[in-house]
C-alpha cells in the first residue's frame, strides 16, 4: 500500500517572469527530505503548491493521499506548515494562538507545548506584534510541533535563530522521526543542517528539479580531485567531470560520479581526492546545470 505523504507529478505553474516546470516529487512516510536551491528557484512555490495555497496549471498533487487543492482542508489536518515569513495575527497574543490551535486540533499536546514554550524561551503573554524574528519563527514552529502532525512542511525553519535555538529546533525535528509514520519536508539555505538530517535531498534550480537522491549516495558520488600535471603531461578524456579549474600545473577537477576507475584513469598525477560537503556540491551542481543549459 502506497504510503506517500506527498506526491507531485508533472506539476507546472506559470508566473509572469518564472515557470515551475515538470515538477515531480515524492515524500515517503518516515523520511526527511531536504529541499535545496538558490533563491528564486521555486522552493517556496513548490511547498505552497503542496499545501494547496496555490493551484497548479498542470499536473497532479496529492497530500496525505488527498487530491490537492480540491481536498486540502482534509489533508491539512495532518500537516504542519511553517514558513519563515509567516506571521501570527497581530491583534492577538501568542497564548491566544496556542488556545486557538488547541481548539482546532484534537491532537494538540498541552504538556509538550508547555515544554516547548520553556525550551524555546517564549512567553504566552507576548503580543504577536512584539515578537522578534527569531521568536516569531519559534512561535510558529511550536504551534506546528505541539500538534504532532504526521507531516511537517517547513520553509526555511531556522531563519533568524541563534545556534542554540537552532540546535533545540533541530532536536525537536529529529524527535519527530522516532515515529516511522511521520515525515518532514524542509527547505533551507543552511546546508549544514540539510546535510546532517536529510535522508534524501532534492535540488531545484530555476523552476526545475535538478537532482533527487539518497543523501549518502549523493555525498559518496561527488569528489574534488586535485591533480598536478608536470610540464608536457596532459589528462586523458575523462568521463563525468562537471568542473575543471586550471592554475598552472595544478588542476582541480570536480566529478559527480566518482569511482576508483576514474582515479586510475588520471593515474599518477592525482595529489588528493577530497569529499565535498553539501554546500560545495550545491554550488558545483548549480554552476554545472547552468552551463549545460547555456545560460
Partner 1 sequence: MLCIHSMYSGINISQTDARPMYLQILEQIRARVAAGDWPAGKELPSIRALAAALNVSVITIKRAYLDLENEGVIVTRHGKGSFVADVNGLAGELREAQLDEHLAEAAEIGRQLGLTEEDLAARLRRVHRNLDKK
Partner 2 sequence: MNTLTRKLIAKELYVNRGFMVIGSAAGIVSILIATQGQIGFNIGCLTWLTTIIAMGVMLAIYGVMHERKEHSLEFVLSLPVSIADYVRAKVIGLWICFLVVWLVSSVAALLLVFLKESVPDGIAPYTVLLCGFMLANFGVLLCGMFEARSEAASTAMIVVTNMGISVFMFTVGPMNGIKQTMWNAAPSWNETFWIVLGCELAVLLASFALPFFLSARRRDFF
Rule CB under 8 A: which residues touch partner 2? 48, 51-55, 69, 72-77, 80-83, 85-92, 96, 100, 103-104, 140
List the beta bridge partners of residue 204: 209
Burial of 188 per CB tally in 10 Å (0-12, 13-18, 19+): buried
Answer with the entry of partner 1, partner 2, none that 3 interacts with (C-beta below 5 to 8 A by kind). none
What is the rounded CA–CA span in Å between residue 139 and residue 122?
7
Answer with the entry of partner 1, partner 2, none that 292 interacts with (C-beta below 5 to 8 A by kind). none
The phi and psi torsions of 249 (rounded to 5 degrees) equal -80, -20
Residue 9 vs 196, nearer CB to partner 1: 196
User: Least separation, in Å, of the C-beta of 30 and partner 1?
Assistant: 7
- Omega of the bond leading into 245 within 30 degrees of 0 (cis): no
Residue 117 vs 153, nearer CB to partner 2: 153
What does the DSSP assignment read for 162-214?
-HHHHHHHHHHHHHHTTSTT-EEEEE-S-HHHHHHH-SEEEEEETTEEEEEEE
The 259-278 site mask, x for binding partner 1 (CB under 8 A), equals ------------x--xx-x-
Q: Which of 148, 196, 221, 226 binds partner 1 (CB under 8 A)?
A: 196
Answer with the entry of partner 1, partner 2, none that 60 interacts with (C-beta below 5 to 8 A by kind). none
User: Least separation, in Å, of the C-beta of 105 and partner 1?
Assistant: 23
Q: Which of 28, 30, 92, 115 binds partner 1 (CB under 8 A)?
A: 30
The 10 Å Cβ neighbour count of residue 33 is 24
Site size toward partner 1 (CB under 8 A) is: 28
Enumerate residues 133-192 that contact partner 1 by CB under 8 A.
167, 170-171, 174-175, 177-180, 192
Residue 37 vs 80, nearer CB to partner 2: 80
Q: Are the CB atoms for 151 and 159 separated by under 8 Å?
A: no
Answer with the entry of partner 1, partner 2, none that 55 interacts with (C-beta below 5 to 8 A by kind). partner 2
Answer with the entry of partner 2, partner 1, none that 83 interacts with (C-beta below 5 to 8 A by kind). partner 2
What is the rounded CA–CA span in Å between residue 241 and residue 226?
13
What is the rounded CA–CA span in Å between residue 229 and residue 243?
17
User: Least separation, in Å, of the C-beta of 67 and partner 1?
Assistant: 29
Burial 80-119 (b: 16+ CB within 10 A, else e): bbbbbeeebeeeebbebbbeebbeebeebeeebbeebbee
Q: Are the CB atoms for 9 and 64 separated by under 8 Å?
A: no
Could you list the residues that contact partner 1 (CB under 8 A)? Answer: 30-32, 167, 170-171, 174-175, 177-180, 192, 195-200, 214-216, 219-220, 271, 274-275, 277
Amino acid at each position: 500500500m502506497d504510503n506517500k505523504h506527498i506526491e507531485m507529478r508533472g506539476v507546472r505553474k506559470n508566473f509572469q517572469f518564472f515557470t515551475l516546470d515538470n515538477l515531480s516529487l515524492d515524500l515517503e512516510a518516515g523520511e526527511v527530505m531536504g529541499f535545496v536551491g538558490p533563491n528564486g528557484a521555486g522552493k517556496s512555490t513548490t511547498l505552497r503548491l503542496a499545501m494547496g495555497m496555490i493551484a497548479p496549471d498542470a499536473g497532479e498533487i496529492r497530500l496525505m493521499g488527498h487530491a490537492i487543492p480540491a481536498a486540502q482542508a482534509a489533508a491539512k489536518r495532518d500537516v504542519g506548515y511553517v514558513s519563515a515569513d509567516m506571521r501570527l495575527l497581530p491583534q492577538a497574543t501568542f497564548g491566544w494562538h496556542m488556545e486557538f490551535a488547541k481548539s482546532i486540533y484534537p491532537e494538540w499536546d498541552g504538556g509538550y507545548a508547555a515544554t516547548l514554550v520553556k525550551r524555546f524561551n517564549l512567553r504566552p503573554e507576548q503580543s504577536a506584534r512584539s515578537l522578534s524574528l527569531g521568536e516569531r519563527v519559534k512561535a510558529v514552529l511550536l504551534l506546528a510541533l505541539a500538534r504532532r502532525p504526521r507531516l511537517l512542511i517547513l520553509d526555511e525553519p531556522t531563519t533568524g535563530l541563534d545556534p542554540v535555538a537552532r540546535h533545540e529546533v533541530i532536536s525537536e525535528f529529529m524527535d519527530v522521526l522516532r515515529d516511522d509514520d511521520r515525515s518532514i519536508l524542509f527547505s533551507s539555505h543552511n546546508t549544514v543542517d540539510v546535510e546532517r538530517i536529510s535522508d534524501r535531498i532534492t535540488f531545484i534550480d530555476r523552476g526545475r528539479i535538478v537532482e533527487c537522491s539518497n543523501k549518502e549516495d549523493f555525498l559518496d558520488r561527488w569528489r574534488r580531485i586535485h591533480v598536478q600535471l608536470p610540464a608536457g603531461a596532459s589528462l586523458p578524456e575523462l568521463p563525468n567531470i562537471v568542473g575543471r579549474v586550471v592554475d598552472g600545473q595544478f588542476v582541480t577537477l570536480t566529478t559527480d560520479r566518482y569511482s576508483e576507475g576514474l582515479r586510475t584513469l588520471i593515474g599518477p598525477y592525482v595529489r588528493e581526492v577530497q569529499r565535498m560537503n553539501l554546500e560545495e556540491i550545491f554550488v558545483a551542481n548549480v554552476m554545472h546545470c547552468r552551463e549545460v543549459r547555456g545560460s
